[in-house]
Copies of this chain bind each other. A is one copy, B any other.
Amino acid sequence: MSGKKLKAVEHPPVTARRQHKADAKAAATHPPPRQRPLTRIQKEKQDIILEAALEVFSVHGFRGSTIDQIAEVAGMSKPNLLYYFPRKEEIHRRLIAALLDTWLAPLRDFDQNGDPFTEIRSYIRRKLEMARDFPRESRLFANEMLQGAPRISEMIEIDLKALVDEKAKILLTWMEQGRLARTDPYHLIFSIWATTQHYADFDVQVRAVLGKGRNGEGRFEDAARYLEQLFMHGLSPKPRMNGSA
Contact = CB atoms under 8 A, between A and B. Distances in A.
Interface of A: 1-2, 4-9, 13-14, 44, 47-48, 51-52, 55-56, 58-66, 68-69, 72-76, 139, 142-143, 145-149, 153, 156-157, 160-161, 164, 181, 183-184, 186-191, 193-195, 197-199, 201-206, 208-211, 222-223, 225-227, 229-236, 238
Contacts of A234: 229-235
A158 B135 CA distance: 24
A191 B236 CA distance: 18
Nearest to A55: B9
Contacts of A238: 233
A191 B181 contact: no
Contacts of A51: 6
Given A55-B9, A146-B139, A153-B204, A64 B60 contact: yes
A55 B147 CA distance: 11
A201 B73 CA distance: 28
A181 to B, nearest CB: 7
Nearest to A52: B6
A168 to B, nearest CB: 9
Contact of A5 (B6, B75, B142): B75
Contacts of A47: 2
B184 A69 contact: no
Nearest to A230: B234
Contacts of A229: 181, 183, 234
A64 B61 contact: yes
Given A60-B64, A195-B194, A204-B156, A7 B75 contact: yes
A205 B189 CA distance: 12
B44 A1 contact: yes
Contacts of A149: 204-205, 208
Contacts of A48: 2, 4, 6
